[in-house]
Structure 1
Amino acid sequence: MIRRSLLAWTALLAASTASVATAEMAVPQITFQWQPDAANAIELSNEIEALYLALYNSGNLTVRDAELGQPPFVESLMRQEQVMHGAHFPVALDAMMCDLNPDHCRRTLRPAGSGELRDLTAHVGGYVPSRGRWSLRGGETLNIPDYDFMTTTTLERIPAPKGWTPDAFVADQGLDCSAFKASCEDVVRRFNPQLLKAPASGNVAITVPQQQIGTTVALRPDTRSSYLNQLKEVMNPDQSGSIAQLSFDEGSTFSPTWNQTLESRSPADLAIEAIRQNVQTIGTIQNFGVGDEPFLHSQIGLFKLVNHPFARLEDLDETQSQPVHVAVIDSRLSDGHCDLPVIRLSDGTDLAPPAPETDAETTPTPVSDTTTPAPPPADTCATIDHLAMSDADHAAGVAGVIASRANGKGMVGMNPHARLWMMAFDRNRVADQQIDNLILQMQIAIPEDVRVANLSFGVQPRLSNPGRMANAMAVLGSRMLIVAAAGNEGEKFDAQHCPVLPACLNDLDNVLTVVGLDSDMDDPGLWTSQSAGSNSNPAFDIGAPAENILSTATGNRFTHQAGTSFAAPQVTAAASLVFSTGEYVYGDELAGAQLSPKIVKDRLIYTSDFFAGLSGAVRAGRLNVGRAINVREAQFELFDGRTITGQVLEAPDEFVCRTPIAGQQFQKWYNLRRLSWNETKQRHFLFRHVGSDLGGRYGVLERDASCLVRTLSAPVEVLVRQNNGPGEVVSFQFRDIRDYTSPLFDQ
């Protein structure tokens, strides 16, 4: 079952006998928790506006009567009744209130255009928002939204003030952190371990508790709702019962065009799609999906940075959930972990999760300030230890980032369906012996079904020939992608000087090198700390976040880690998802039903997010999981803000691109992998495959950093399908393309 929201999608279901239109039938009703994601009072007003418009326009706004006081203003009444918050009162809300109270207000009703009607929050009942002409007196009664906004405490990521330390945090009056079973000051220390020894500076984000408002929202029963039908299948009998009868506005002033839309679409689905980014769970419909992990709140920031489906609490679908074997070459592990899958070791033995405690009763040992607390039972799996820094903890952490299970015990890995195989790598040997041992093991020990290998280490050879390691990796080029960490020495390498292995072997088609980035969402830079920093090289392939990464540690513990060692496994997991999805979708078209590691490597590069600040530090940009694993659709972002995904029916075979590269004026559409707008340069850059057949993926992936598109009016048509329906054709001109990503293969 797929979860469909930012913080959760599980909805509380109950049987209801509410009326739908004129017929009464027993159908489920959806009730869920809404919470804004606003960073300031202006954004809060806008998000409440979007909530009310989505509910009103879908016929799901619940209303009640309220008496006007003095002064007799609509905004004052809504604030007094605590159904409006934020810095301003949007025009669209005034229009909605006017339509809810036709005996007291009239306004100009101009039908909204087709573009506005596509956005549930851009019109009011099918009409353009406009100010109402009110006639009000104190003591009169108006219809207002009926929602009870409550204050809660949530964890948020914010920029750190210069010189900030956890000890500098002072909780605001009324801030309640009891839900975390700690004081607010202790919560800050727990979630900001990287700042315990050094003050934050520069582009550093911190996790702090903040007050947030939220409200419960109910949608009227809707037999056409695809979301509701999915939830209904897993409703437990003991969830049946009656839901309090609510008063829904009937939308009597909707335009004829909008009424026709509501007749052809599910109103509940329209509302959910419009506000799904702000839905929070208040119930459960499945066992141990993504949203059930106790420490998920510590991972949401990371999932947002790399655009992982888990950021929206969407479970991986069937195409993305095929088991892919992943090798972790790292320090030695001797025990399993309660939140990791069974791990196959290179000697053929398995590390299984510890069995749960089965004793009927246990007597806890009293703990005082002078005693060392006993380790938690094997089945608690709920301890965060900021000092877990051993070699074994390094290996456990890498494994957890990749494949921690969605079992409701702690966290969730980037690909919880991956199957792990681990090989011990002795980092205490001298450098040349490390290389010799690694070469031998890679050639004889790694099973054939391993598709991706993670190497979160680096060595600098002194006497041995680095070509030996390159050869050992090249011979695996047809079946295994090798993901290497760039290293934490803070060095700026180039083509002439790049001594760290295996990171500097990424000119091989099956070696992908990952630099570490900070956690700035909009303008990331290289990860640095007071004692370390990510190595960089204009030729290194891709970046991923490298700070405050929650993962598993030995002894059934969890810890926060930093460094390129924990950026690389994010890319490893993403690669395994591309293998899973690509081979599922295109398996009947590929010899042996396997993807080439080069195709997966190139896919991760050209689907990444590009930032001007990373120029010269990495070839591409920050990992974008969601874009990479959407392998069967072309993905467009247009300058007018539309996002279109589907099958390209028509596009120019060639387009003209003014570029300083000789002979590259004419670009072949079927060789184009990415066309993306550079705001700074005011022109596009592109990735293309060259040196292979038209549309082939085995040629060299080249980047052109400056492309002034001269093909303007050529038509582009995309077939967009929803819910496996017949689909519709969306047309636009070539000049409208802000960003384009090709599917994995053209069809």
Structure 2
Amino acid sequence: MLHPTSGDVAVRRMRSCALSAVFSCFAGGVWCQTDPSMAAASVAVPSKPATITWQSGNATVNALPAEFAQLYTSLTALSTAGGRVATKKIVVKKGSSIEDALREEGVYGGKTMPIQVDQYVCGLNPEVCKVPNGRPDWTIQPNATIVVPDIQLEPVIVHRTANKSAKDTLQGIVRDREGCPTFDDACLLYLKNLNRRQLEEIDQNFIGKLTVPTRAYRATIVLDPPVAVDPLLLPGMAGIRKQVVPAMSVKQFSADGNAGAVEGTRARVLKLIGYPSNGGAGFALPSAGVTQVTVMDNSVDAEHCMLKNVKLFEAGDILASPRPPCGGRADAQKARDHGTHVVGLIAALTDTDAGPGLNPRAMVNVMAMNVDQLTDEKYAAIQYDRIGRLYSSPDAPDVVNMSFEYRTKGAGQNDLLWEAMKQQEGNTLFVVAAGNDGKLLSPGSDCNVRPACQHSPHVITVGALSFDERPTMHLGSSEKSNFGSAVHVGAPGFNIVSTIAMNRVGVLSGTSQAAPLVTGVASLLYLKDGKLRPAQVKNRIIYTSDLFPSLYNSMLGGRLNAERALDFERANVKRKGRPLERLVLKDNPLIPFADVEQQSKAFSIRFGQIRRLKFEPDLKHYVLYYTEDSNKESGELLRRFVRLPSDRGIVFATAPGPAQPLADVRLRDIEDYTAALVR
């Protein structure tokens, strides 16, 4: 994507100062504002392209020469089409080759220099370089000055997949990708964090797919003068669109509270989501252990009196003393309080009425961002690096909360934020807000809200619901949650009470408030079993939700139910006229169903594939959730509306163990069945 700038030197310098101030704040890990005069100058700058941010997509360092070759082929095409890369002069030191000089200056990276780089630089220096037969021929004196492209190149660490065979060593795989300076204890910890949910120990005997730190390169390419259009749309530039980083526009999904309306107090929210506050069936908060949660948001008051175990990633102080008394009410301001409000819903102390605080054992690591600066592609790229650094420490997250949307701008296709998320498919669950625009989010629709529309087994998209016993997607009279098949589950999101800056509490509404409730429950699932994979947690939260016919056209599941999600050791079976039973499935017969939406078309699945089967008396048929494999909880969760063409008995035991009494459950007697979690 292209960075707005101006030919006016004074304005350019002022913008540079503003951006430097933002980076200074960012380096301290805090969200902050730049000087207002600088911000105003930045807004006044005409929007013309001035830079391209390019990042290699190499899986190994051996792939770098081909990527730099493509980059310089495209830059040559840019020059032919009327664009021009800015240049600078360098000295080729005595005893250095052209290749040495260009590598030192950061014109390219990797082990070897592609000929396309040499040809491009040769064309900038016709007095001392000719190209007979296509190969540059340099005639320069020691300490000569030459012209090179103004490219600011830096190495970055990315995460890539490697297949380890029995003959491969961990040292060899890491060395070939140059993701660690040396293979030491810190590098081994990094490797284990990136693969910590593998079923086997990560050691020399491991065989299979590994996520490995890998050296890549990022280049900021200055255009001078800037072209009038996005240079990626010029002839010959299509070859690097996949490597060019776009800027983002970002929106947080909160609105001000509705004065005088019913508030989402701790008691009200916990009741609606079935939170086992007194130690419900199958769950009691353990006396030890933590789960790691990362919140990507704006500023968070980590010193809030109601927050514990909250720290700022790469952080410094945010708010000054003295502070007002703990728990005072105030009007929440989204720009200032959004992040603190979100964190409180996950991990506020549970002995107050300030908000849900679902998991007091959550260690919350806040990745503070200035969302306004994400319109600059260089700043957006830095967020990718920060996510990567989370996994080089013991704070590698089990769950990440993202209560915002972003949209990419321009022809660049290298969405680094999504790339960072995608690389953690086996490690981390990303809980994302659906948005408050009342918009349909489904495959085939204009589903461009990211990351909510990114279909992946480790991304769960959360809609916001009203307080009604039969909830709707409305957030007051003027706003409605986004909905559709890309939305997986819902949670209360109207007038929710939580922590805000400076020891106070206040209310905000939106899917930004619904998402952290799901994050809190997900973190409790990890607290109960730290080996669960993200897709297992995602599916469990969806199929254990409270189901309402009014929501079936709005989302895949229903309203979050914490107790049912956490009671995963045994199946929950509700038969007609009987109390809920907690049983253990003993057989796995083939069950025929008729699909109501496909003119009663018949299909059959094993009973062990069923994750939820609930009879809907108003609809006079069942809703069925299942996966394609009886032994794979992490497979894609499917939903169908069905009838039972026949009846049969399903054998359960009353408790684990071979000597337990058996129970024969007639399929037609089941009102609601929730499977135990398949490990």
TM-score (norm 1): 0.52
Distance 1:409 1:516 in 2: 21
Residue 555 of structure 2: which of 595, 615, 618 is its match? 618
Q: Secondary structure at the match of 1:577?
A: helix
Q: Secondary structure at the match of 2:408?
A: coil
In structure 1, what residue type is equivalent to 2:622? H
Residue 633 of structure 2: which of 686, 697, 716 is its match? 697
Q: Secondary structure at the match of 2:537?
A: helix
Distance 2:624 2:290 in 1: 33
Contact 1:337 1:352 in 2 (8 A): no
- Aligned equivalent of 1:478: 426
CA drift of 1:678 comes to 2.0
Distance 1:460 1:500 in 2: 6
Contact 1:452 1:483 in 2 (8 A): yes
Distance 2:435 2:273 in 1: 20
Q: Secondary structure at the match of 2:341?
A: helix
Distance 2:333 2:615 in 1: 42
Q: Residue 683 and residue 445 in structure 1: after superposition, are their counterparts in 2 closer, same or farther (change >3 A)?
A: same
- Aligned equivalent of 2:5: none
CA drift of 1:468 comes to 3.9
Matched, 1:527 2:474: yes
Matched, 1:737 2:674: no
In structure 1, what residue type is equivalent to 2:337? D
Contact 1:342 1:353 in 2 (8 A): no
Contact 1:454 1:483 in 2 (8 A): yes
CA drift of 1:499 comes to 1.5
Distance 2:287 2:537 in 1: 14
Distance 1:417 1:577 in 2: 8
- Aligned equivalent of 1:337: 304
Distance 1:744 1:320 in 2: 23
Distance 1:742 1:516 in 2: 26
Distance 1:313 1:195 in 2: 33
- Aligned equivalent of 1:607: 544
- Aligned equivalent of 2:372: 428
Q: Residue 466 and residue 545 in structure 1: after superposition, are their counterparts in 2 closer, same or farther (change >3 A)?
A: farther
In structure 1, what residue type is equivalent to 2:383? L
Contact 1:336 1:353 in 2 (8 A): no
CA drift of 1:432 comes to 5.7
In structure 1, what residue type is equivalent to 2:504? R
Q: Secondary structure at the match of 1:579?
A: helix
Alignment of 1:536-555 (within 5 A): 536-555=483-502
- Aligned equivalent of 1:501: 450
**After the TM superposition, which of the residue ranges 300-309 and 410-419 deviates more from structure 2?**
410-419
Percentage of identical aligned residues? 27
Matched, 1:513 2:450: no
Write out per-residue CA displacement over residues 626-684 of structure 1, whole angstroms, 9 at most, x where no aligned residue. Answer: 111111110111122421113223x4512221225698622201111111112232111
Q: Secondary structure at the match of 1:429?
A: helix
Structure 2 unaligned regions, length at least 5: 1-255
Alignment of 1:53-202 (within 5 A): 194-196=257-259
CA drift of 1:470 comes to 2.9
- Aligned equivalent of 2:347: 403
Matched, 1:687 2:616: no
Residue 577 of structure 1: which of 524, 531, 540 is its match? 524
CA drift of 1:623 comes to 0.8
Matched, 1:488 2:422: no
Root mean square deviation of aligned Cα: 3.1
Distance 2:280 2:318 in 1: 29
Distance 1:335 1:549 in 2: 20
Alignment of 1:139-538 (within 5 A): 194-196=257-259, 206=262, 298-310=265-277, 317-318=284-285, 322-333=289-300, 335-347=302-314, 376-377=324-325, 381-385=326-330, 387-407=331-351, 410-431=354-375, 433=377, 435-445=380-390, 447=393, 449-463=396-410, 464-465=412-413, 467-496=415-444, 497-505=446-454, 507-521=455-469, 523-538=470-485
CA drift of 1:556 comes to 0.7
Q: Residue 407 and residue 648 in structure 1: after superposition, are their counterparts in 2 closer, same or farther (change >3 A)?
A: same
CA drift of 1:316 comes to 5.9
Distance 1:342 1:407 in 2: 15
Contact 2:354 2:497 in 1 (8 A): no
Q: Residue 682 and residue 516 in structure 1: after superposition, are their counterparts in 2 closer, same or farther (change >3 A)?
A: same
- Aligned equivalent of 2:181: none
Residue 509 of structure 2: which of 555, 558, 562 is its match? 562
Write out per-residue CA displacement over residues 327-351 of structure 1, whole angstroms, 9 at most, x where no aligned residue. Answer: 0000023551111113222116689
Q: Residue 732 and residue 320 in structure 1: after superposition, are their counterparts in 2 closer, same or farther (change >3 A)?
A: farther
Q: Residue 494 and residue 413 in structure 1: after superposition, are their counterparts in 2 closer, same or farther (change >3 A)?
A: same
Matched, 1:668 2:601: no
In structure 1, what residue type is equivalent to 2:626? R
Q: Residue 195 and residue 644 in structure 1: after superposition, are their counterparts in 2 closer, same or farther (change >3 A)?
A: same
Q: Residue 335 and residue 601 in structure 1: after superposition, are their counterparts in 2 closer, same or farther (change >3 A)?
A: closer
Q: Residue 513 and residue 410 in structure 1: after superposition, are their counterparts in 2 closer, same or farther (change >3 A)?
A: closer
CA drift of 1:745 comes to 1.6
Distance 1:700 1:644 in 2: 27
Residue 632 of structure 1: which of 555, 558, 569 is its match? 569
Q: Residue 432 and residue 654 in structure 1: after superposition, are their counterparts in 2 closer, same or farther (change >3 A)?
A: farther
CA drift of 1:196 comes to 2.7
Q: Secondary structure at the match of 1:698?
A: coil
Distance 1:656 1:682 in 2: 17
- Aligned equivalent of 2:585: 648
In structure 2, what residue type is equivalent to 1:719? T
CA drift of 1:742 comes to 0.8
Contact 1:329 1:425 in 2 (8 A): yes
Q: Residue 399 and residue 571 in structure 1: after superposition, are their counterparts in 2 closer, same or farther (change >3 A)?
A: same
Distance 2:305 2:350 in 1: 11
Q: Residue 664 and residue 348 in structure 1: after superposition, are their counterparts in 2 closer, same or farther (change >3 A)?
A: farther
Distance 2:607 2:577 in 1: 22
In structure 1, what residue type is equivalent to 2:447? C
Distance 1:383 1:418 in 2: 24
Distance 2:610 2:284 in 1: 28
Write out per-residue CA displacement over residues 106-138 of structure 1, whole angstroms, 9 at most, x where no aligned residue. Answer: xxxxxxxxxxxxxxxxxxxxxxxxxxxxxxxxx
Write out per-residue CA displacement over residues 260-293 of structure 1, whole angstroms, 9 at most, x where no aligned residue. Answer: xxxxxxxxxxxxxxxxxxxxxxxxxxxxxxxxxx
Contact 1:487 1:534 in 2 (8 A): yes
